Amino acid sequence: MDLCVFTAASPTSADLETMVTMKDHHIQRLEQEVRRLQRLLQEVQERTANHVALLQQQLANKSQHIERLQAKLQSQQDYEKIKTELRTLRVLVQTTDEVSGFCPPSDVRSVSVVNDPVIQKEMFHHSAGKEEALNESSSFISGSPASSSSSLSIQSFIKEETGSGDDEQEFDTTRLAQQVKEALQRLNIGQRVFGHYVLGLSQGTVSDILARPKPWSKLTSRGREPFLRMKHFLSDEHSIRKLSDIQERLRGVFVPWVGPPDRSSDDDVIKNILDQSRLESQCSLISQISLLTQI
């Protein structure tokens, strides 16, 4: 009886062979699946590597493009800066001859723009039409080589008033100064521009003359000349229009003093000093630019 139980519980050889065969088939399927997954993994890795390489190449190209754009932007900014400086230089060159008679002597040294081909090119193109634009404004300066009929008429007027035995004729200098101040305020003309192109005097001197005019009888022939020029200016509409045009063209280059000329407060004194300092620095720069245009 025990032998029968043992025989029934033990698998037969046929069952064992069947189980082994099934296991072999299962192992083979697993191996095939592993190989298939390995091939897929390898393909995915290759595609990923190729995609990464492509992205890196695109990134490098974009970086190079960005660098080129940055360089172009920088050059454009430099170009705009040069254009702005050139516009300033051109305005200053236009006023070189106009204020040359009022600039204090200074040591003119070499300027760094001499070797700049862009600035030299702009200077060359601008120099052709420069003289005609300057002659109109320089005509107010009686001692200027470029003086025209306007300055000659002023000299003729002065000679007529002072050279014909009219010393006994007196002008009301206070009234004349007040009329000039009102005219300058009405026309929005700065005292510096009026002094430069009409009287040939500095702003400080003009302010002092207009604020505290001396009686005509106490003035020398040299001291009477500014008042004669003022009288001629008020009676000459052409000179008034021309000076207004010059003021508009110089606006932004010179800072006009717009305060009342008869004030003597500390603020006015400081403002006059600052304006004179700015004028001297501008004259120094204009002298350097004038030297460049002659090279």
Note whether 97 and 127 are within 8 A (CB): no
* Residue 295: predicted pLDDT: 56
Q: Give the model's confidence band at 113: pLDDT under 50 very low, under 70 low, under 90 confident, else very high.
A: very low
Architecture of domain 136-278: Orthogonal Bundle (1.10)
Percent of the chain with pLDDT over 90: 15
- Rounded to the nearest 10°, the torsion over CA 121, 124, 126, 132 is 180
Domain ranges of the chain: 14-85, 136-278
Q: 17-21, 158-162, 194-198: which range is least confident on average?
A: 158-162
Q: 1-10, 233-242, 261-270: which range is least confident on average?
A: 1-10
Q: Let me know the angle formed at the C-alpha of 48 by 43 and 52, rounded to the nearest 5 degrees.
A: 150
Most confident of 7-11, 100-104, 170-174, 253-257: 170-174
Q: Give the model's confidence band at 267: pLDDT under 50 very low, under 70 low, under 90 confident, else very high.
A: low
- Would you state the structure tokens that stand for residue 294, as one six-digit string? 């002659």
Note whether 151 and 198 are within 8 A (CB): no
Most confident of 136-150, 201-215, 273-287: 201-215
Note whether 240 and 187 are within 8 A (CB): yes
Tens of pLDDT, residue by residue over 145-183, are 334 444 445 555 555 555 544 444 677 888 988 999 999
Q: Calculate the average pLDDT of the chain.
A: 71
CB atoms < 10 A from the CB of 25, how many? 10
Q: 6-10, 75-79, 214-218: which range is least confident on average?
A: 6-10
| Residue 138: alpha-carbon gap to chain centroid | 26
Q: Give the model's confidence band at 280: pLDDT under 50 very low, under 70 low, under 90 confident, else very high.
A: low
* Residue 76: predicted pLDDT: 79
Residues in CB range of 268: below 8 A, 6 or more apart: 259
* Residue 137: predicted pLDDT: 46
Q: Is the pLDDT assigned to residue 58 strictly greater than 80?
A: yes
pTM metric for this prediction: 0.36
- The residue-averaged pLDDT of 192-210 equals 87
